[in-house]
Amino acid sequence: MKNIKTFFSVFIAILSVNTTSEITNSLSKSLSEDVNILGCVNPLYPKLNLKFNSDQINASRMDVTSNGAISLKDEVSITINDGRIKASSAHYDPNSGSISSIKEGNIYYLDSYFGFLSGSFNKNSKEIRLEKGSTFLRPRNILIQYESLEGTMDSYLHFKNTNLTTCTDIKNGWEIKADNISIDDIAKRGHIENLKLQVRGKTIVSLPYLPFPATNDRLTGLLEPDIGITSDGADIYLPYFWVLSEKSDITIAPRFIEDKGAGIEANFRYVTNTKGENYVDFIFFPHDKEFKKQYGQTDDQRWAYKIKDFRKYKNINFYVNWSKSSDAMVLLDLPSDLVNIANQRDHYLPQSILITAEFGNLGINISKQGYQSLNPFIKNGYIKNPEINLNYSRYNPRFSYFANIEYTDFKIDKPIKSISFAKGGTRMISKIGVETNNAIGFLDVEFNGHIISKKYNLDGIANKSFSKNIPTTSLSISSTFKQFSPLGRFIATPKIIYSKTSYKNQSSDPIFDLHPRDGSNLNIFNQRLFYGKDRIPDQEFIMGSLRWQGYFTNQNKMLFELYKINEIKNSKILNEMLLKDLSRDNQTGFELRFDSGLINTFLMTNYSQKKDHINFGNMGLSINLPETQISTSRKFRRYVPLIGTENELDYIDLSINQNLSQGYKFIGGISKDLKSKKNLETFFGIEFENCCIAYRIFCI
């Protein structure tokens, strides 16, 4: 079933107004330039050049009274510090700096405008009293209409009986009506009393009191509210930002979803002695009215949290990445723009704690690691509690050696009673090896040799363990050629690799953390354990590759790599895992990338000569035009380990953003599984944004 969703947001720009913003350039932009930014610059008040003599006074008629004051009439112009006053008439006392009895006046001060029917202003104290006028604060594009305005420029302003907006057309935009608006520039805070937020003439929110920060600085106060209409009804979001210290703050956001109920979200940020990102995110809905209906659950309480922390003390590092949720679907059902617990495509929540320490060439890692599945049909699996890793390495330009020992205790998280063979246990893996790197003429020769030893002890099996030693060797010969020309810089790197990993029967070994780690069939580009640490495939092959990189003077970049692999013998481990009898194969592949300001594209593929088909492919194209952004990609892969005997992934993604006139934009996208011919995701709709309103209507 398709869902039609509408997102509608109202941004109250006054919440971060600072009335003392400085002029950063000459205020002489044309009217045509002002109105060219999605209606975000009010064309009624064009920018002016404010470089005037502060003692300049002009009028069609000037009369000096007995006390030295000056009566001004018709085309009155009085310059003040950082601005100018224009009026039909005024009374000016040069001794006190008082400008009183101003009629039909206009004040341009710094980058703001004040228009009024009558009022007064003091050049020395900057005290101001205005009646029945409007104020335009250009730094925030805010237009305020008022019955009266009192205060002191650069210090405090108080508006009575006001209307506030950023829109030139209120009928199709938004407006705030309030009894009072106060802006205290000294305290850098303000408040609105008895406000009503109206959108297209209809009142949406009424509040008796609303505080806000009156500055761009980091201050406590309410942030812009979000009001949305979704398939779950109205979605109202009211965030409050609270500064705790110079190094910490918290955002608390009460949230109401019409069909689900009320809840709260929070984001706590803090800085430690590292540059790491540290935060605590939390979402809580005590009663989700739709949860029981959708999933048949008896408990309708829903929550999720995430803790991410990184600290450092001398040579010791401490990491925490821990998240948990009440159920697997909560982050899909309650998506948030504030918290960063997981995105909608994540398959699990990490739950890990890691301590690392370095003592010269010796490193020690101690960790606890687990995962919570975000798939309701998949259990959480094993917990590493603990894992201890010791590694020693000594690297020299020509000869290096290394040793690593890893001990892990695996425990089953929420055992499955129907699966009796799922057992925990311990595993110890050691890796000892040497590596040489020598330059022979224009050739770079590298040799790597190491032995991996595995040993298991399973729970419930007395006096029995599994152990084996698996040697691996590899030899690499390469060279680098560089060329410089008026077109740019170009680098070519040819390489030949021979690699062999001996066969050891591992069918009796348990599988604790089996998973693929990159997109190739045989992990030809490095020596990482492609199939996890419980299955190390035997392999022997020769590979030749040529890598070419171009860095052009016009900032374009290009990469091309071609490789060919000849397997000397087939892999018994792979045959056991895939339940196939695959003989040795020769494979060819290439990678192509091009990056420019307008077009980014890539293509990667691997072709099997024996099977006469493509093992995997990945291609993509993105076009970035001034008014149009298009991106598409396709991913294909055969023989994905542990998914099935005849398994294949083949899907395509396409998205487009097209700017339309007057702030409108068309958005659309599709993700389709080409193997099953099913749409994974499809959406299209219209998005609109200007200084008044932002909303999105789309169908999925």
Quick: pLDDT tens for 106-151. 998 877 889 999 999 998 889 999 999 998 877 667 788 999 999 9
The model's pTM: 0.65
- Torsion sign across C-alpha atoms 500, 505, 507, 513: negative
Tokens of 502: 């001996």
Instruction: With a cut of 50, say whether residue 22 has pLDDT above it.
Output: no
Decide if 431 contacts 452 (C-beta within 8 A): yes
Instruction: With a cut of 60, say whether residue 12 has pLDDT above it.
Output: no
pLDDT of residue 536: 86
Neighbours of 384 (CB within 10 A): 19
Residue position matching structure tokens 């850098």: 188
- 571 — pLDDT class (breaks 50, 70, 90): confident
Decide if 180 contacts 194 (C-beta within 8 A): yes
Tokens of 382: 């094993």
Decide if 647 contacts 641 (C-beta within 8 A): no
pLDDT of residue 26: 25
Looking at 118-122, 449-453, 533-537, 690-694, which range is the least confident one?
A: 690-694
Q: What's the first-to-final CA gap in the chain, in angstroms?
A: 9
pLDDT of residue 417: 45
Q: What's the average model confidence in pLDDT over 693-700? A: 70
- 344 — pLDDT class (breaks 50, 70, 90): low
Instruction: With a cut of 80, say whether residue 287 has pLDDT above it.
Output: yes
pLDDT of residue 21: 30
Q: What's the average model confidence in pLDDT over 289-315? A: 86
Q: What's the average model confidence in pLDDT over 561-565? A: 94
pLDDT of residue 10: 41
Q: Tens of pLDDT along 590-617?
A: 999 999 989 999 999 989 888 788 888 8
CA nearest neighbour of 393 among 450, 430, 434: 434
Residue bearing the bigger pLDDT, 67 or 153: 153
Most confident of 138-147, 225-234, 390-399: 390-399
Instruction: With a cut of 60, say whether residue 205 has pLDDT above it.
Output: yes
Q: What's the average model confidence in pLDDT over 520-546? A: 67
pLDDT of residue 559: 96
Residue bearing the bigger pLDDT, 417 or 171: 171
Output the CA–CA distances (angstroms, integers) from residue 369 to 408, 414, 424, 640, in the order listed: 10, 15, 14, 25
Gyration radius (Cα) of the chain, Å: 35
pLDDT of residue 380: 66
Instruction: With a cut of 70, say whether residue 255 has pLDDT above it.
Output: yes
pLDDT of residue 251: 92
pLDDT of residue 569: 87
Instruction: With a cut of 80, say whether residue 501 has pLDDT above it.
Output: yes
Instruction: With a cut of 70, say whether residue 526 has pLDDT above it.
Output: no
DSSP string, 344-370: TT--EEEEEEEEEEEETTEEEEEEEEE
Instruction: With a cut of 70, say whether residue 16 has pLDDT above it.
Output: no
- Partners of 650 in the β-ladder: 636
CA nearest neighbour of 108 among 132, 144, 138: 138
Task: Characterize 123-139 residue by residue with b for buried, 16 or more Cβ atoms within 10 angstroms of its Cβ, and e for exposed.
Answer: beebbbbbbebbbbbbb
Decide if 190 contacts 12 (C-beta within 8 A): no
Instruction: With a cut of 50, say whether residue 161 has pLDDT above it.
Output: yes
Q: What's the average model confidence in pLDDT over 532-554? A: 90
pLDDT of residue 520: 38
Neighbours of 219 (CB within 10 A): 17
> Chain-wide mean pLDDT for the chain?
81
The dihedral formed by the CA atoms of 250, 251, 256 and 259, expressed in degrees to the nearest 10: -80
Looking at 415-419, 488-492, 677-681, which range is the least confident one?
A: 415-419
CA distance 107 to 672: 60
CA distance 406 to 411: 16
